[in-house]
């Protein structure tokens, strides 16, 4: 069912309200500052999916607010886009303590929110940022270095999209030579967005559940040696204004 922009915004707001009170993962619910639902345009054709919120995201309630987020904004601007044009989310909506990897049961508990976001926003293209999100959404252990910049049609939840794996912007913060690779992959986005959306499945397709994902799908089990980033240091954070208010409708892109 295709929703009007108004219906889409209202449904997404309802999903956000539900997520804000989620306690499916007791440890995450007890240690988070707030749920980081996502941010951007509720009617976006392009969606980014990362791993999980970091410390600053947990404080701000908005994904990608640190140094990697600034680079993401720069890369978008270089291809004629902005954060107002896209929607950004994570596989997990709460920050894991000490930025540890998300646990399979946490991903299982949280995946409904991501599938719902995809279903409501109806993006044409979803960029997975880095190894973790790429392996999880593809249901395959192939590392990002082998498949970055290669679009493919995948069914996520109940919606078919063009999945476009790219390196996490943080990779370029640790390995500066990666910036050119990121720029090359981002340069392909305008052409991908011009393509018609994939045909939608007639009936719900089976989804890869995190508990069924082999151990090698965890981001550190099949390491990319040149891009290995310690969990506690994945996203260097600049100084930001403390005590930021919870995200507003505008921050969520519900305009």
Residue 143 pLDDT > 70: yes
Burial 38-52 (b: 16+ CB within 10 A, else e): bbbbbbbbbbbbbbb
pLDDT at 146: 95
pTM for the model: 0.82
pLDDT digits (tens, 9 = 90+) for 90-124: 999 999 999 899 999 999 999 999 999 999 999 99
Residue 236 pLDDT > 50: no
The owner of tokens 């007791």 is 26
Fold held by 5-199+210-238: Uracil-DNA Glycosylase, subunit E (3.40.470)
pLDDT at 106: 96
The token duo for 169 is 């912007």
pLDDT at 78: 98
> Which residues 6+ apart lie within 8 Å of 81 measured at CB?
46, 189, 190
What's the rounded mean pLDDT across residues 185-212? 78
The owner of tokens 């965890």 is 218
- How confident is residue 182, by pLDDT bands cut at 50, 70 and 90? very high
The owner of tokens 């992959």 is 185
Phi, psi of 49 (to 5 degrees): -130, 120
The owner of tokens 């995946």 is 111
Alpha-carbon torsion 190, 195, 196, 199, what sign?
negative
Beta-sheet strands, E only, within the chain? 39-40, 46-50, 86-90, 125-129, 152-156, 159-166
What's the rounded mean pLDDT across residues 216-243? 39
Residue 25 pLDDT > 60: yes
Q: Which of 18-22, 49-53, 115-119, 211-215 has the lowest mean pLDDT?
A: 211-215
């Amino acid at each position: 069912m295709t929703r009007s922009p108004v219906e889409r915004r209202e449904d997404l707001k309802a999903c956000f309200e539900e997520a804000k009170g989620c306690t499916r993962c007791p440890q995450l619910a007890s240690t988070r500052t707030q749920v980081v639902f996502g941010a951007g345009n509720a009617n976006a054709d392009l969606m980014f999916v990362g791993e999980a919120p970091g410390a600053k995201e947990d404080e701000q309630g908005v994904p990608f607010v640190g140094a990697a987020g600034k680079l993401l904004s720069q890369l978008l601007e270089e291809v004629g886009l902005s954060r107002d044009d896209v929607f950004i989310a994570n596989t997990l909506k709460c920050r894991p303590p000490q930025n540890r990897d998300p646990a399979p049961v946490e991903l299982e508990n949280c995946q409904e929110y991501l599938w719902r976001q995809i279903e409501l926003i109806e993006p044409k293209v979803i960029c997975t940022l880095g190894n973790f999100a790429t392996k999880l959404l593809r249901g395959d252990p192939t590392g990002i270095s082998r498949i970055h910049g290669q679009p493919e049609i995948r069914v996520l939840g109940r919606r078919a999209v063009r999945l476009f794996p790219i390196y996490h912007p943080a990779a370029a913060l640790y390995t500066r030579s990666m910036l050119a690779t990121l720029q090359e992959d981002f340069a392909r986005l305008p052409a991908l967005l011009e393509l018609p959306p994939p045909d939608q499945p007639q009936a719900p397709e089976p989804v890869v559940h995190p508990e069924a994902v082999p151990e090698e799908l965890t981001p550190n089990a099949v390491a990319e040696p040149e891009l290995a980033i310690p969990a506690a240091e994945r996203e260097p954070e600049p100084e930001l204004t403390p005590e930021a208010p919870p995200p507003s409708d505008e921050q969520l892109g519900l305009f």
